[in-house]
Amino acid sequence: MTGHLSLLLKNHCRAYAHLLRGSMTSATSPIILKWDPKSLEIRTLTVERLLEPLVTQVTTLVNTSNKGPSGKKKGRSKKAHVLAASVEQATQNFLEKGEQIAKESQDLKEELVAAVEDVRKQGETMRIASSEFADDPCSSVKRGTMVRAARALLSAVTRLLILADMADVMRLLSHLKIVEEALEAVKNATNEQDLANRFKEFGKEMVKLNYVAARRQQELKDPHCRDEMAAARGALKKNATMLYTASQAFLRHPDVAATRANRDYVFKQVQEAIAGISNAAQATSPTDEAKGHTGIGELAAALNEFDKQLWLRWLTPVIPELWEAELGGSPEVMSSNMEKPRLY
């Protein structure tokens, strides 16, 4: 888990280093994400992989001695204390990496700092609740308190990871902006030698963009978004190849309407492909924007349902078998249709 989080941190740092380099050649408006920082919607497999160990640890802890009162003597649970310590250590790892990300951040600094502090706060609440539960694992009240603390901790950690993932998206968007500027430079070339020089720079930026976009494509959870990213990358490669010859023909015959129309058409296709990559990277599309995003995300909805079921248990007689089944299925708070995590 630490290795994956370190990778997310490295990607974030590279994103802002590239943004700083890009700012030297651009005076355009800042990059704006089509993404609500308050949303708990998990959009990439990386975030799922990072969350899974913590969810498993929390679930195992909640399931400790969940059979309720029995004829055995009540007392402390050594297993529960060990599990509580593992959750505390995992939370500390998230905090350390989160603090590093927030320190290096520019555009998302305020949100990241707030997210780190929320993880710290919820982690401390979880530490106290799990410790008290470990001392008295047969107490349904202490179990309920710990479950609510676990819910809040998972939400806080998820938000921190999603913000770090946003920073990774910003790296891709920064590449897109640089490619757009290089594309505009090609369009404004005044002669064939100027075109050759500008197209060479455009090609270099295209190589960088393709690498970052391909990696993002592999990480997207939504198959539709992955397909859109693949299609946009394919369209960009195809039309970028035709861009040079179309521009060259126009420079040789600027008075011929057909050459101008052909060049403008190819430029438009490249621009649309760039927009397609941007939308797919952020898991958005023109139709999504028209409909609006009214949901709070899969994880938030599942956690709310989990919390509601907990209160229902307090208002009705507890049936141990059903209680165990409910807590045993709690890894599904990540997503009811979570794919099997895979290495990349």
**Domain with 79 in it: what CATH number?**
1.20.120.230
Structure token pair of residue 254: 């600027």
Checking if the pLDDT of 206 tops 50, the result is: yes
Domain-embedded: residue 209: yes
* Per-residue model confidence as pLDDT tens digits over 108-159: 788 889 999 999 999 999 999 999 998 888 888 998 999 999 999 999 999 8
| 308 shares a domain with 240 | no
Instruction: Give the separation between CA 104 and CA 16, rounded to whole angstroms.
Output: 8
Domain-embedded: residue 340: no
| 302 shares a domain with 283 | no
| 148 shares a domain with 52 | yes
Instruction: Give the separation between CA 148 and CA 5, rounded to whole angstroms.
Output: 25
**What is the pLDDT, as a whole number, of residue 236?**
94
Residues 6+ apart with CB under 8 A from 294: none
Range of the domain at 264: 188-291
| 132 shares a domain with 38 | yes
| 205 shares a domain with 88 | no
| 325 shares a domain with 257 | no
The secondary structure of the chain in percent helix, strand, coil, rounded to multiples of 5, reads: 75, 0, 25
Checking if the pLDDT of 16 tops 50, the result is: no
| 104 shares a domain with 230 | no
Domain-embedded: residue 176: no
**What is the pLDDT, as a whole number, of residue 163?**
87
Domain-embedded: residue 325: yes
| 159 shares a domain with 12 | yes
Domain-embedded: residue 342: no
| 194 shares a domain with 112 | no
How confident is the prediction for the chain on average, in pLDDT? 75
Domain-embedded: residue 307: yes
Structure token pair of residue 260: 């101008």
Domain-embedded: residue 178: no
Structure token pair of residue 322: 């059903």
Domain-embedded: residue 132: yes
Instruction: Give the separation between CA 296 and CA 279, rounded to whole angstroms.
Output: 20
| 328 shares a domain with 277 | no
| 51 shares a domain with 6 | yes
Structure token pair of residue 251: 């420079």
| 319 shares a domain with 287 | no
Instruction: Give the separation between CA 49 and CA 265, rounded to whole angstroms.
Output: 42
- CB half-sphere exposure, 263, CA atoms < 13 A: 24
* Per-residue model confidence as pLDDT tens digits over 226-277: 999 999 999 999 999 899 999 999 999 999 999 999 999 999 999 999 999 9
Q: How many domains does the chain have?
A: 2
Checking if the pLDDT of 38 tops 70, the result is: no
* Per-residue model confidence as pLDDT tens digits over 293-332: 333 344 545 555 555 554 444 334 433 443 344 444 443 3
